[in-house]
Structure 1
């Protein structure tokens, strides 16, 4: 009575799966990674492909961003009327959409930063040498390029600055930022022609006084009488320097206009606009002199823009003049910030900074311009350089920040402690970007891995196998396990750097010797967690690809725990093909998986519950009618319910059976599992193992290529040696396989016998139902099951487990002592029930069993004596004898005595009592 298998996932697991979503980017990322790992490539080609991954991920993020963000006018080439007002309102009023847009922007920024930094940090030595040779042999035409070729730290700072400029360029349009100031300027849509209101006031004064010359020459009293609308002294001239030179004000409307112009200039510098863009913007406003002011050393995102080498001394002097204006000139913070950017000042730029990016830009711009200034002074004659540094001050950001080796780390720490941007600095994406810039990515990924593992529930704890380390982490800085997009990002950051480290043959940049002992394992938790996410998102086919990044044995661990839930054989075979394709050893995987699942049972215990608790027959003396009835459902009421660890253990044996070369391990591991289940009375689990991984299945796997032997078996080492040789299996001896196979088969036989006896007990229970008793089919089913139980019991009646015990396996001795007497007594009970309910032949067979046990050569009587249960055995046979004596004949289908019984010398009539 074998039910269909129905081992299903528990409800919480189903709910968690339904809550996981995977967009197309998940497969996009995996496909891009596969392009780097799958083909056989030269190291240089593989490095090139890996370095190209951030670009592909960056473009993927931009595509997703374009799909969710309304089309915004960035370049002014389109009219505002082209925008869908409803679309913009929906995006700004829907918090979910706004948060998604912000999240995608941060992701795009992260990949953009990586695509800029990684080529610099992992460029080949040949490429570095080529760049150096090119810079020394070719005529010097571009001062900035020559400078960058000599200083790796400067190249990296330029990359960060360009990244910050690109981030800023994705913000609102510059005209939009200045819109409020433009409105306060009270000039409508006029953006050109300078200070309109101040010019009108000067013209009016001249007209009223009929004075054709400069107003400040009219009379000394003009200084006190010529005021603007706010009552402040008004400038008398209209040149750009007038307000600073005269110490006077503009009309209030023109001050707004002036501030809007300087805001625009600052934004262009902040966004890395090239000179042509700035020139066009200023020309529209008839303010070309401002574009000229910025043109000497413009650090833009345009890599093709050159800085011709003309007069290095003039460049050094220009920087110092800009610094003077940043510190003591100008009428507006944005005007001073513009000159602060050009001179490499920090204070004036930080005064208008609003975000983490702005503050980092102020400091990195200052560091790079200080380095460039040092290079420029080196090109000047020594006397000129000395005179300039003594006469004109400049800001030395390198000296200001201190030790060059740790400046990046200390700068990031200072930004994190800045109350103005502290919350932003602790946002996970920004913290990740900061760790990349400061070269602390290894520690960040380590702590991120700790956060992932510490948040794991009981379903996932085995996947990480991490112990709490007591670190007090600010979890706001890290992605949580529910933020699947963040897990995808940090996992791919980890694998990018790991792959590049392997190709570069350099020291482990993520886990150097100074790292905590569990650093690497914690970082690998990111891949483990991402693989877990892929499983719950129903993308199991991607898991082997990511596990191939991990080192052994972690790769096998992550594979094992993420693939063990798979129940479909076809899917398992597909996974094995993918594992092999990913370069992972399939044999090691299935073996490791089985051991991991076995280890999850916990440390071995000295207790042996089956010794005291295995009892499947009712207490009390046997009766002549029923003997001692077998307890119904002694396996358990619901045969599909077994513990998760037991289910995983059985599944691991099923995985072992799928690999042709690991069938010997099915015997060895299956034997250990049977012992554990039987020792601890996990009978339901043992039955599941018996049904799902039978000895016949393993035998078929071993003899698959020889159909003639598939149904034939010989319990000899020579039989197994032939099949080991055929598969080329060398890690186990034929003697060991023979021993493991024998134990596996004999323990399976016990479970089969118990399963059959439980079914007979269930039928016996049903005989109390009058309707069932009347059914011919009911008694026919009982007859079939009794016949089956007789067959199942035969292995237990002849030296069961004795060979293994003689080989020194003490656990088998304990199992034999615990199970054999009780099982035989239950078998006697089943024959007793069948004899009184079906046919007296069953009672005769029971007496034959008594004769077998009584033989001198029988091993069964010894078992009963060792267990102290000989009295129970005698009483059971006595009850059968009594039932046979008082039985009047056939209870069911009558006929002649069976041929087998006659051959053994038994006859029903011999035991009949005549009245």
Structure 2
């Protein structure tokens, strides 16, 4: 499809300007008839899967946009340096995190109300018509399962926290708190640490020297915090597992102990102290001692309830260790349950020993809590019969195999592997730098196996770990959830790659039902999870803002081969905002795109705005974000033009005449109500695109270029209803007056085609003392006027053609009404109405008879105008002749003489083009026959007159006396 033929105006990269406060003079009117009205395209949307979610979007999109707007203004400041840029990025992340946390609070409150069966007060206030609501309660308007929404927003909070952590680790410059802490640690460990240094000092030094290990440590802490916030209280786990109620857990192995006491009272034990008791449910031998190692040492069982208690206790300890609880916290929890030995067994002998956050997982603090301790934990994990006990010791040792059986989700599996990688790195660092601190070679205790990585991924271990989890059978569903994909991408620092996949999915969806105007086709592989991702509004919103911040942090944007896919993610989000009715947010996000892409995106969104004041505000927004409105409007016009152009071919002849055998007409007449009223949405959008040009100061040529192309398209396709609507909404006189009012050289509302010469050339006459003379000024203004006329004449004449066709339609409708009245015998109305209508028809058709549509500005346009003329002018002229013929019977018989004037006009030497249209279309014979019928009608009308023809002449000088057959003069 060939592009619209217009003068080239290549967009350039604009200089950003900060968004000003919008002038109160262009604020939207409060009248309900003038509020913003949106009309969405009924055809398949480019990104139609998002439409279902668009109707349920929450207020967070607006609050996100406010924070992005502030961020964009700050990073665009000329005084921005590395520190301020970093702080701006962090502030944006924290702001977006705060919005997600607000949503979590609201949903948690709502879920609690629903769980208690309490009424939802928020919904009650809405139903009751209350308008004022708290900021947090107004955030979420989406319907759906509260628990699922809460899960989504908790995942979002986790994403922003992780992103903040990673940025702080990777990019914190001098002057930030993160940099200060690192600098203090470096000073504290300056120089080579001693052989017998505190293990904690070794750990600090290790993390400072190993950048990847420090990153792993931070991610593990994030996973601990996430698990702690996402899951229920640990005490609840024991109560639910045991089913005994609060307080019962302090009695230990209660059932087994009671049975043993009863047995000792009734029967003496064997010499070896072995009980003959059996377990009640299975008949297994019961332990005879109650120390923690008894079941494994004696290879005997506990009562069922006590076995469940044991599992619940180790499950709780697993949860605490997995959530990063300090040893002191674990000790206090165990002490409350009379189970202090369990805390001691985890590696601390004295509860008052100093501790800090470094000893959460690795037990590197204190005497004998190094490599040997981890080997011991590994041996305990291998020998345990309780999977949660094995998992706790396996986690302390850095093992994976003993932890996997209790892992419930993606984060647990990831935690186990990163923990293994971190401890393995620490052990390797100790062996290289302080071999004496490592376990002796002769020890029988083995170290946990380390993960093996292919050689080509040695420098990208986290990426390999994350990718390995995607093929894990137990994680097939969760690992491919959109929010989890984002989290995993941030962990592995692979978000740009994920953005490329998401952009490809959006492009594929957009082009499913035909070529998309917004997004290019994509032939690469699109994985199913990313198709789901592209259909998830919340995930798309988060991914878009993560990508925006990545871009601000230095993602290779303009030099990247994947740039169009990065931009496709932002365009997808913008299209979602459009469908959600958030049109005022579109310029903000479009300003982040390349100029050409931004223009296309804005053009697509602008078609939905119909209100004049809202359109004006949008133009101001474009300017405030450093965009050139003309380029956007040109792209919008081209987009709507091509949409309107599809679906039908050009017509060769537009027919609205019908044959009739009645003397009132010359063998044919105009079809009743031939002018259609229905306008397609594509044509309506094209008309709206033309209306947007009214908001541009001056730009006369571009405005009439658009109007002319639209009018030619409608006429070429035979869409007269659209053509009529175009000239009604954008009448030449109104457009001319609106444009000239703001022109620097005119500054007065003038109809260029109508105003007299003196009124135009005397505007802004030079005052005394000016260098230009009045005569030169008048000459300059005359030339200027001719230029304006030349640029707009085609549209002016096309409007005349459309108006003439409409007047012919109106005549036929009125004509039919009068015929019905006469046939029914009803009183006839005064002839003034139809006489005035006749004169309007004559006035509308007259311009078509004098050098009409021969003003093309190029050879191509000349051919277009010739095709339009041949499709319409013969039919219009014949229809006009029919009107005059009929008017001679209905208004006055002198009107028949106008048929002869019509013949004279067509035969005039300077109107050869009009006559040629009849010849080229093969309709000259019709025209001759029509004039012959009109001549015959003159004779008949004279013969039918019972009295002498009046000597009074018409206002044009015609008289019927020439046609009187009795020869009277």
**What is the TM-score when the length of structure 1 is the normalising length?**
0.81
Asked whether the equivalents of residues 452 and 525 of structure 1 are also in contact (C-alpha less than 8 Å), the reply is no
Asked whether the equivalents of residues 838 and 890 of structure 1 are also in contact (C-alpha less than 8 Å), the reply is no
- Residues 111-158 of structure 1, C-alpha deviations (whole Å, 9 max, x = no match): 312332345246245468666544322358765554444334334433
Q: Indicate the residue corresponding to 1:123 in structure 2.
A: 171
Q: Does 1:360 align with 2:421?
A: no
Secondary structure of 1:900's partner? coil
- Residues 715-774 of structure 1, C-alpha deviations (whole Å, 9 max, x = no match): 999989999xx9xxxxxx998764331111111111111111121122233343126885
Asked whether the equivalents of residues 158 and 368 of structure 1 are also in contact (C-alpha less than 8 Å), the reply is yes
Query: Could you tell me which of 795, 799, 811 is aligned with 2:864?
Result: 811
Q: Does 1:65 align with 2:107?
A: yes
Q: Indicate the residue corresponding to 2:637 in structure 1.
A: 594
Q: Indicate the residue corresponding to 1:258 in structure 2.
A: 310
Change (3 A) 1:622 1:520: farther
Q: Indicate the residue corresponding to 1:730 in structure 2.
A: none
Aligned-residue offset at 1:880: 2.6
Query: Could you tell me which of 825, 836, 843 is aligned with 1:791?
Result: 843
Change (3 A) 1:419 1:255: same
Query: Could you tell me which of 134, 154, 175 is aligned with 1:108?
Result: 154
Q: Indicate the residue corresponding to 2:933 in structure 1.
A: 879
Q: Does 1:801 align with 2:853?
A: yes
Change (3 A) 1:602 1:190: same
Q: Does 1:754 align with 2:754?
A: no
Aligned-residue offset at 1:913: 4.8
Secondary structure of 1:618's partner? strand
Change (3 A) 1:344 1:99: farther
Q: Indicate the residue corresponding to 1:77 in structure 2.
A: none
Q: Indicate the residue corresponding to 1:285 in structure 2.
A: 337
Q: Indicate the residue corresponding to 1:560 in structure 2.
A: 603
Aligned-residue offset at 1:681: 1.6
Aligned-residue offset at 1:350: 0.8
Q: In structure 2, what is the Cα distance between the partners aligned to 1:879 and 1:428?
A: 78
Change (3 A) 1:142 1:51: farther
Aligned-residue offset at 1:650: 1.5
Asked whether the equivalents of residues 67 and 92 of structure 2 are also in contact (C-alpha less than 8 Å), the reply is no
Q: In structure 2, what is the Cα distance between the partners aligned to 1:774 and 1:908?
A: 30
Aligned pairs for 1:18-97 within 5 A: 20-38=55-73, 41=77, 42=80, 43-70=85-112, 84=116
Change (3 A) 1:662 1:388: farther
Q: In structure 2, what is the Cα distance between the partners aligned to 1:256 and 1:427?
A: 34
Change (3 A) 1:518 1:390: farther
Query: Could you tell me which of 721, 725, 728 is aligned with 1:684?
Result: 721
Q: Does 1:490 align with 2:540?
A: yes
Aligned-residue offset at 1:690: 1.5
- Residues 830-853 of structure 1, C-alpha deviations (whole Å, 9 max, x = no match): 222222211234323333333333
Q: Does 1:158 align with 2:217?
A: yes
Change (3 A) 1:838 1:58: same
Q: In structure 2, what is the Cα distance between the partners aligned to 1:465 and 1:98?
A: 30
Change (3 A) 1:474 1:137: same
Q: In structure 2, what is the Cα distance between the partners aligned to 1:878 and 1:87?
A: 86
Q: In structure 2, what is the Cα distance between the partners aligned to 1:806 and 1:191?
A: 94
Q: In structure 2, what is the Cα distance between the partners aligned to 1:491 and 1:47?
A: 17
Q: Indicate the residue corresponding to 1:136 in structure 2.
A: 186
Q: In structure 1, what is the Cα distance between the partners aligned to 2:690 and 2:945?
A: 47
Q: Indicate the residue corresponding to 1:700 in structure 2.
A: 737
Asked whether the equivalents of residues 313 and 385 of structure 1 are also in contact (C-alpha less than 8 Å), the reply is no
Aligned-residue offset at 1:621: 9.1
Q: Indicate the residue corresponding to 1:540 in structure 2.
A: 583
Aligned-residue offset at 1:624: 6.2
Change (3 A) 1:774 1:910: farther
- Residues 456-508 of structure 1, C-alpha deviations (whole Å, 9 max, x = no match): 69999745444363746325872464xxxx3133233223323432x233424
Q: In structure 1, what is the Cα distance between the partners aligned to 2:227 and 2:385?
A: 25
Q: Structure 1: any 5+ residue segments left out of the alignment?
A: 73-82, 89-95, 298-302, 727-732
| Number of aligned residue pairs | 850
Aligned-residue offset at 1:84: 3.8
Query: Could you tell me which of 451, 465, 479 is aligned with 1:425?
Result: 479
- Residues 23-50 of structure 1, C-alpha deviations (whole Å, 9 max, x = no match): 3333333333333235665334432332
Q: Indicate the residue corresponding to 1:176 in structure 2.
A: 236
Q: In structure 2, what is the Cα distance between the partners aligned to 1:913 and 1:156?
A: 112
Secondary structure of 1:351's partner? helix
After the TM superposition, which of the residue ranges 539-548 and 139-148 deviates more from structure 2? 139-148
Aligned pairs for 1:293-372 within 5 A: 293-294=345-346, 305-307=357-359, 314-328=369-383, 330-372=384-426
What root-mean-square deviation, in Å, do the aligned CA atoms of Structure 1 and Structure 2 show? 4.4
Asked whether the equivalents of residues 40 and 579 of structure 2 are also in contact (C-alpha less than 8 Å), the reply is no
Q: In structure 1, what is the Cα distance between the partners aligned to 2:416 and 2:757?
A: 79
Aligned-residue offset at 1:235: 4.7
Q: In structure 2, what is the Cα distance between the partners aligned to 1:862 and 1:384?
A: 106
Asked whether the equivalents of residues 515 and 521 of structure 2 are also in contact (C-alpha less than 8 Å), the reply is no
After the TM superposition, which of the residue ranges 415-424 and 263-272 deviates more from structure 2? 415-424
Change (3 A) 1:657 1:176: same
Q: Indicate the residue corresponding to 2:7 in structure 1.
A: none
Query: Could you tell me which of 893, 896, 902 is aligned with 1:849?
Result: 902
Query: Could you tell me which of 880, 883, 891 is aligned with 1:827?
Result: 880
Q: In structure 1, what is the Cα distance between the partners aligned to 2:340 and 2:300?
A: 23
Q: In structure 2, what is the Cα distance between the partners aligned to 1:518 and 1:737?
A: 41
Change (3 A) 1:843 1:708: farther
Aligned-residue offset at 1:807: 6.0
Q: Indicate the residue corresponding to 2:468 in structure 1.
A: 414
Change (3 A) 1:621 1:812: farther
Aligned-residue offset at 1:699: 0.9
Secondary structure of 2:329's partner? helix
Asked whether the equivalents of residues 53 and 537 of structure 2 are also in contact (C-alpha less than 8 Å), the reply is no
Aligned-residue offset at 1:817: 3.0
Asked whether the equivalents of residues 285 and 300 of structure 2 are also in contact (C-alpha less than 8 Å), the reply is yes
- Residues 231-262 of structure 1, C-alpha deviations (whole Å, 9 max, x = no match): 65555554434444454444544333222221
Aligned-residue offset at 1:573: 1.8
Aligned-residue offset at 1:359: 2.0
- Residues 515-567 of structure 1, C-alpha deviations (whole Å, 9 max, x = no match): 5x9634543453244223323xxx33233333333333222222222331322
- Residues 374-412 of structure 1, C-alpha deviations (whole Å, 9 max, x = no match): 3455563x3443736976422243446873344334433
Q: Indicate the residue corresponding to 1:653 in structure 2.
A: 690
Asked whether the equivalents of residues 663 and 698 of structure 1 are also in contact (C-alpha less than 8 Å), the reply is no
Asked whether the equivalents of residues 874 and 923 of structure 2 are also in contact (C-alpha less than 8 Å), the reply is yes
Q: Indicate the residue corresponding to 2:593 in structure 1.
A: 550
Aligned-residue offset at 1:209: 7.5
Q: In structure 2, what is the Cα distance between the partners aligned to 1:224 and 1:721?
A: 123
Asked whether the equivalents of residues 834 and 842 of structure 1 are also in contact (C-alpha less than 8 Å), the reply is yes
Query: Could you tell me which of 343, 366, 387 is aligned with 2:440?
Result: 387
Aligned-residue offset at 1:907: 2.7
Change (3 A) 1:373 1:405: same
Q: In structure 2, what is the Cα distance between the partners aligned to 1:285 and 1:125?
A: 47
Change (3 A) 1:400 1:711: closer
Q: In structure 1, what is the Cα distance between the partners aligned to 2:156 and 2:762?
A: 58
Q: In structure 2, what is the Cα distance between the partners aligned to 1:166 and 1:410?
A: 23
Asked whether the equivalents of residues 753 and 793 of structure 1 are also in contact (C-alpha less than 8 Å), the reply is yes
After the TM superposition, which of the residue ranges 472-481 and 660-669 deviates more from structure 2? 472-481
Aligned-residue offset at 1:685: 1.6
Q: Indicate the residue corresponding to 1:504 in structure 2.
A: 553
Query: Could you tell me which of 578, 581, 597 is aligned with 2:621?
Result: 578
Question: Higher relative CO (CA 8 A, sep ≥ 6), structure 1 or 2?
Answer: 2
Secondary structure of 2:474's partner? coil
